[in-house]
Every structure is written in structure tokens, then in C-alpha cells.
Structure 1
């Protein structure tokens, strides 16, 4: 294996294990160990050197709050990993997990890039990054500086800065008024949703959709939606918002059918597909 192929392999592995919010800043390089080839890849794979807010910030009032639901943990992003010489262990059982510290946020630099579990980072979605919670997890975040709170879906790794416990998407940070200050004191609490039993399937889990993939290329997403609709014999459509286009299957009224379709989607290669409420 030549040097180029070795570097490419390291880059690929790093992009899966260490998500969008994990690239180190210039100030970190003065106090941390020398940058490895995989860490250097994290710095170089983005078009922007520094993270910024959108060119034309929009109101996020129309963005709905996330409703926690049961989701199996992702195939990717849930193994123990090392960043800048420090080892991180993914929490196996996050029930009753609480944590206090600082929240930061990440935006345009990472928009459209892969998160640690293989999804596409959308700064206008209510998501977040955490170093050790299993992916995905639902977390209630309370800004203790102003009392505001919201729920986010953790699908990425980070932040790797001393004292910071969670990286919020632009939308989530906007709702908590973290954009102006850059960071805020927060308390986070994991919301655990038990796997539904046979008795609750028909009552609690109705009208669900499967989000297969998202991309900035609308034509590709539309083609994929049509292709999956034909292969799986299900309804599909494209949901577009702020230059991100998502392939959605459904809605489904039957929980068993939803899960069976999700398994088929993953067998087709879309391992980051997940179920969401309609």
C-alpha cells in the first residue's frame, strides 16, 4: 500500500469516527500533542478554515421542537475512539445521565458534511454533538444563563475543547440564545425512550416516516426518492429546507412495516437512515 492510499484510508476512518465538530482550533495546537495525519485531515477537509454563522441568518421559530422517540443506535459512530491522544469511551447505558458545563455551537463550516454516525450535518436541524453519549440520543438542553431549554438529537462527536460538554447546531443554539455569546452555561439531561412493546405499537407509534439521506444536490435526491419508491413499493418524497434536500419514505401507520422497511433501506446501503415522527 503506497503512502497516498495509507493516507486516504486514515482519512476515511477518521471521518466516520470523529464527526464534524471535532476539528481542532489554532489555539489548541499550542497546548496539545503534535497533530496526526488523521487530525490534519479533519482540519483540511473543510472549505472554511473557521466556523461562522450563515451569511443570511434566518429565523428558526418555524423549526419544530424534536419529539424524542425510540431509535436503535447507529451502526457507525458508537465505538470508543481517540482524539488528539485522549481516549473516549461511549456510554453504554445513558439512562438518567445528566451533565453541567458549557455549550458551544457549530455552523456553516460543517454544513453538508458527514456527522460521526454517517448522517449529513444540517445546521438548521435540532441536533448536537457530544463526546460520549451513544448515537443517536435525545437530550434536553437548558441554558442556565437565561432559563431557556430545548430538545436536540445527538448524532455527532465533539466538542473537543476544555470545559465544553455539547456542541449545538446553529438552529438549536439560536433557540437558546447561544449565538450572540458563543458559549453558554448549560445543563443537559438524556431523555430515554423505551423500545415499544407489542401492546403499545399500534397506539403509540403511528404516522412515522423514514429519513433515508440528505444532500445539497436536489436532482440526486429526487432520483434516489423515485428509485427507492419503486424498489420498496412505498411512498416517497423530497423535503427541502435551507438548501438541504432530504429523501423521506412514508408515512407509515404500522410500526412493524416501518421497521421492516428501515431494514430494507439499510440493506441497500443507507446505514444512517432513521425513523422519525410525521
Structure 2
């Protein structure tokens, strides 16, 4: 209950701050929507030259992209740790974090939240509804619960991978290009993995499991039975990777020696 209370207090203060600068908030939301629209246009351009992509039609690819946007929006709302090295290690803000009676990772998540990114959830669901209507998909009464579990698993996978990358800073405060590179790799998860070669499929499934953020869970709703096992593994992979990320983070914190050391 203490952590829940802290979350709502931070969220309340964040909303008050964003409402003070309404124009900036609107511009950020618009830029996010524009970025998502550009990606959608890219899919449409690709299918302007072909009817199928490795056995997937245009509406199915659009549905996968829409599903991908939902866990991705949750990730970008709460795991903005791409500048963790500069802000918390080099500038020494980690010293402040460690003096407070709350887990350091949870505190950083609260400090860096960007709740306006949650509009991506609405965009993703709207795209899924459109694609689903074109495909004639129907839902069972339990599908919303499965959807929530799959989305949570996908968001945890994304957050876990970037938490592990941020943890590297506890051992080395030198700048790396891992974060931008990983953002680019993560984009592969919004497309069916069977369009890639075997090595890339293996990496996107078991090493950097971004496929569990988009194509595998979306395949459940598309009725692709050959991917059902992977869809069921999505929450499991999310929990496993999150536990691993927290363990690495906790070990890294013990190696932290303060700014300038």
C-alpha cells in the first residue's frame, strides 16, 4: 500500500505540472501520434507492392502493429531511463535516490514517468479495432483478461531489457550507444518474426525477446494456432526477465561509489 500511495502522489504532482504547460503537453502528444502514423504509413506503402508478407496480409500486420503500441506506450510512460547514465551516475543524482526509504528503481520510475505517452494505448487499441473489424475477428468473454496479461508481459519485457542496460552504468559510467541501438532492435518486434532468418528469430525470441511484445501475443487474437504456445509464454517471459533485471539492478547498486569516483 505504501508503494501504491507513492505512485498516486507522484502521478498527481506530475499531472499538475503538465497541466501548467498545456501547450507543451499537446505538442508532445501530437508528435507521438505523428510518429505512430508514419510507421503505419510505412506498412501501407509496403503492402502497396504486395498482398502478403510471408503469409501475413495487410490487416494482420496492422493488427500486430496496433497491439505492439499498447505495451510500448506503457513502457515509454514509466521506463524513461535512457539517460540514466548522464543524470543519475555522472551528475550524482543517484546519491539522492539512495538516501530515501524506497527501492531505487521504483523511485526512478516514478520520477521519470511521462503519463501523456499512455495516449499510445488508445491509438494502438483503435488500430486493433479497425484491423480486427476488417478481418472479422470476434472476442470471447475471457479475451480482455488475456489481453491485459499479454500487454503486461510485453511491457515488462521492454522495461526489463532497458533496466538491464541502464544497470551497466553502475560498473562503468562511460557513455555507450546501447540504448539507441536497442530501441531500433525493439522495432523488429512489431513485425512477424517468420519474415526474418533463423538467427534473428532466435534472438528476438530468447535473447532479446521483443517478439513477445508484438507478434506472438497478437497472434493469439489473429487465430494463428502455430504461435499460441509463444503467446502463452508472454507473461512468463515478462516475469522472468523482470526478476532478472531487478537482480542485476540490485547487484549494480552495491557497486555504485558515488559521483566522481
Class of the TM-score when normalised by the shorter of the 2 chains? under 0.3
Task: Compare relative contact order (CA 8 Å, sep 6+) and give the higher one, 1 or 2.
Answer: 2
TM-score scaled by structure 1?
0.21
TM-score scaled by structure 2?
0.22
Whose helix fraction is larger, Structure 1's or Structure 2's? 2
Whose strand fraction is larger, Structure 1's or Structure 2's? 1
